[in-house]
Amino acid sequence: MSTQNKTSIELELKKLNSNFNTFNKIMSSFLVIATSESTFKNKTNKEIKTIVPVVSSTLKAINESIYDDELDFEYDS
C-alpha cells in the first residue's frame, strides 16, 4: 500500500471518527431530553431495574429484525 493511500485512508478514518463523535454528542443530548420527559423520572431505582431488562429485550428484538433483514439482503446480492 502506498503512502498516499495510507494518508487517504487515515483522513477518511479521521472524518468518520469526527462524525461518530458528533453523532454521540447528539444522541447524548437526545437521551437527556428523552429521560427528562420519561415516566422513568417518577420511578424508584428498584422499579427502573425491573423495567429496563424488559425494555432492553424489546429493543434488541426490534434491532435484530431491522438489521438481520438488512444483512440478509447484503449477502443475497
Q: Give 15: exposed, middle or buried? Use CB within 10 Å, 0-12, 13-18, 19+.
A: exposed
Q: Supply the pLDDT for residue 13.
A: 95
Alpha-carbon torsion angle 58, 64, 70, 71, nearest 10: 170
What does the pLDDT profile of the chain (77 residues) look like in tens digits? 788 888 999 999 999 999 999 999 999 888 888 888 888 888 999 998 999 899 889 888 888 887 775 555 454 43
How far apart CA 69 and CA 74 sit, in angstroms, is 9
Assigned C-alpha cell, 76: 443475497
How far apart CA 51 and CA 53 sit, in angstroms, is 6
